[in-house]
Structure 1
Amino acid sequence: MNTILVASDLSARSDRAVLRAAHLAAEEGADLIVLHVVDEDLPGALLQTRCEEAETVLRAMIGESAVLVDLAVTVLVEAGHLDRLLPQIVRDRKVDLVVLGTHRSRGLAEILGAPTLTRLLRGVEVPVLVATGRTEVPYDKITVGWDFSPASAAAATLARRLAPEAQITLVHAWQDACAGVPYAFETGGTVSPLALEQLTSEMAREAVKLSDGGPAMGCELVVGPAGHVMHKRAEAGEADLIALGRHARSGIARLLLGATAEDLAVHVPCDVLIAPPE
């Protein structure tokens, strides 16, 4: 990983994303780009002033941070719209990881707009980390949304790289179409024991393969909607990072095609990593 880009809106919550990106850049030996986008629809004189003010604030943050000051940091202030600029900047700068922050009191969806968030996730072809949690500690417990696809394997592999000592659990959320009673998944649904055994065995083999000599990855099969399962794990303190694959064939990958993905990235009480297949 050579280059990490973090988008900042200059809010305190956004500062958490900058610091998370800085820690990751330090661990990876990567260059760091801090990007701020000013609304291009502002009047000319005000636009210029806002750009200059933003650069001043970001450079002051870098100078005052023990983590940032020792990194190769590029401050990039652009006029435009983030969802339009970001994909091009990622390509031009050969960015390997994008880090986004959120102002939790208002929500990422309100700052970016839900359609903008969707376009960001679809338009950027590199992994995206939505960082909202504590930055002073490394990730400790990671849940990988597992659907047996190359994308979910890429998510697990990247999670291991970003947090080599973390406890990683592959979680396959099985939406049981035969469970006709509302919330039947809470009591186990109607999945056959044989199907559960086969899936669990296959997941265990994949977990061993992905561990690749490092700390062993765990695996769990849970009956229920994927979004519900991920939310419950985060709320129960079972994950400080949720890693999802993008463009996978089924299951958790479908989260990225609708509102559930936005809901996870915006509201789940932990960081979310979204990785494309390798």
Structure 2
Amino acid sequence: MKPRKQAYPQRLRRVLVATDFSESSTHAIGRAAYLPLEAGAKLLVTHALPSRMPTEVGTRALQGTARELERVAERLRKALRTAGSSATVETHISRGKPVDALLRRADAFGAELILLGRHGAKPLRNMFLGSTAENVIRRGHLPVLIANRQATGPYLRPVAAVDADATSRNVTGFVPTLMTPGSELTLVHAYDVPLEYAVFPGLPSKERTQYQKTFKAAAERKLSALRRELDARGVPHQLVMENGGSRSIVLEFVDDQGADLLALGTRARSGVAYALLGSVATDLIREAKCDVLVVREREPAA
């Protein structure tokens, strides 16, 4: 029996938007206004203040932060009304280290997504590592959307970097939530041809081509379950496969196609900073010019 197609897309109901009042945070606020939101959805705009400050300084900081936070929230409310959304916007000031405070508030709020900006006026190597975004991904469990540039509309050209593993299924399970009706998800997969440079010198051109096709076909078979799941949910998609390194293939495709969202996954209990430091995933997050969605692998049951 064929699985029944589900309604597409599923819309967001609760989103936490982090702000430090910087330009990159402005990108996050702007993106929030274009998210596919359920009727009556709630957005929480939050900022963290240090837990220890002299009383007088702390009082002034709290009052000033509250005023600025409300101004940011009101801009978002106006943008949502312009978009015809009935979503509501609340504010919250947390105390403590930004990452700890943000993750606590996200859990208390019941957030389905954390949205934040990425500081861009830094060298590539320092743009992501050690940032709030990196630590939220590494230590949290919720999907994280990093707004890398000013939003001009909903996502129309989303791309997901995929492999035949659980992290890719988690990504393709969530990314349709951010898609606009009528848009198509492009799955990009880089496959490997073992010993290509050692084998090819001794093969005629026709046999070289067949050798490559063998491994491409194997990769397609491994991804077939992922595609069936998307078909069952009624998610329009296409698969692009290239032989070579994942980093260069994905980044080149994102740039060439003008993608506005790149989605990828990380593994549970490790995250980017532990298991993927210096790897393809971290490079993609650092270097992608579009917004980036990172979905964590689900934690195993205790």
CA RMSD of aligned residues (A): 3.3
Shift in alpha-carbon separation, 1:127–1:232, aligned structure 2, 3 A: same
Deviation (angstroms), 1:232: 1.5
- Whether the 8 Å CA contact 1:114–1:262 is kept in 2: the answer is no
Deviation string, structure 1 residues 181-214 (Cα, Å, up to 9, x no partner): 9xxxxxx999732121122244356324313363
Change (3 A) 1:64 1:3: closer
Q: Report the alpha carbon displacement of residue 121 of structure 1 after superposing the two structures with TM.
A: 0.8
Name the structure 1 match of 2:189. Answer: 172
Displacement of 1:29? 4.1
Distance 2:249 2:57 in 1: 46
The answer to whether residue 245 in structure 2 is matched with residue 225 in structure 1 is yes
Task: Tell me whether 1:17 sits opposite 2:37 in the alignment.
Answer: no
Query: What TM-score comes out, normalization by structure 2 length?
Result: 0.75
Is 1:83 matched up with 2:89?
A: no
User: Is the CA contact (8 Å cut-off) linking 1:109 and 1:117 kept in structure 2?
Assistant: no
Tell me, yes or no, if structure 1 residue 67 matches structure 2 residue 70.
no
Amino acid at match of 1:61: V
| SS of aligned partner of 1:259 | coil
In the other structure, the counterpart of 1:268 is 288
Please list every run of 5 or more consecutive structure 2 residues that lacks an aligned counterpart in the other structure.
1-11, 199-207
Paired residues of 2:117 and 2:147 also in contact (CA < 8 A): yes
Q: Is the 8 A contact 1:168 1:218 kept in 2?
A: yes
| Residues in 1 aligned to 2:138 and 2:210: alpha-carbon distance in whole angstroms | 34
- State the match for 1:3 in structure 2: 14
1:93 aligns with 2:114: no
Q: Classify 1:274/1:113 alpha carbon distance in 2 versus 1 (closer, same or farther; 3 Å).
A: closer
1:132 aligns with 2:148: yes
The 1:240/1:64 distance shift into structure 2, 3 A limit, reads closer
**Which of the residues 190, 200, 218 maps onto 1:198?**
218
Letter in 1 for 2:109: R
TM-score, normalised to structure 1's length? 0.81
Give the stretch that moved more between structures: 260-269 or 130-139. Answer: 260-269
Residues 107 and 135 of structure 1: CA distance in aligned 2, closer, same or farther (over 3 Å) = farther
Task: Answer with 1 or 2: which has the greater Rg.
Answer: 2
Partner of 1:216: 236
SS where residue 104 of structure 1 aligns? coil
Quote the Cα distance in structure 1 between the aligned partners of 2:55 and 2:277.
37
Which amino acid letter does the alignment assign opposite residue 73 of structure 1? V
Matches within 5 A, 1:232-247: 232-247=252-267
Deviation per residue, 1:19-38 (Å, 9 max, x gap): 22233264564211111123
Q: Any idea what the Cα deviations from partners look like across 1:137-179, whole Å, max 9, x if unmatched?
A: 1111111111122321221132212114322111122355635
**Of 121, 141, 160, the match for 1:105:** 121
Q: Say which is worse superposed, 96-105 or 57-66, in terms of deviation.
A: 57-66
CA–CA separation in structure 1 for the residues paired with 2:124 and 2:15: 20
For structure 1, the residue ranges without an aligned partner over 5 or more in a row are 182-187
SS of the residue 1:67 aligns to: helix
1:4–1:96 CA contact under 8 A, matched in 2: yes
| Alpha carbons of structure 1 residues 166 and 27: separation in structure 2 relative to 1, 3 Å | farther
1:24 aligned counterpart, secondary structure: coil
Note the C-alpha offset of 1:49.
2.2
Match of 2:138 among 94, 99, 122: 122
* Secondary structure of 1:171 counterpart: strand
Aligned residue pair count: 268
Residue 5 of structure 1: how far off its partner (Å): 0.3
Give the letter aligned to residue 144 of structure 2. V
2:175: which partner in 1?
159
Give the counterpart letter for 2:246 in structure 1.
A
Shift of 1:218: 0.6
Aligned to 2:41: 30
Query: Matched residue of 1:166: which SS?
Result: coil
Q: Identify which of structures 1 and 2 has the higher relative contact order when contacts are C-alpha pairs closer than 8 Å and 6+ apart.
A: 2
> Is the Cα contact below 8 Å between 1:90 and 1:124 reproduced in 2?
no
Contact 1:102 1:131 in 2 (8 A): yes
Does the aligned pair in 2 maintain the 1:40–1:47 contact within 8 Å? no
Aligned partners of 2:73 and 2:90 also within 8 Å: no
Partner of 2:276: 257
Asked if 1 retains the 8 angstrom alpha-carbon contact of 2:133 and 2:146, the reply is: no
Partners of 1:118 and 1:262 within 8 A in 2: no
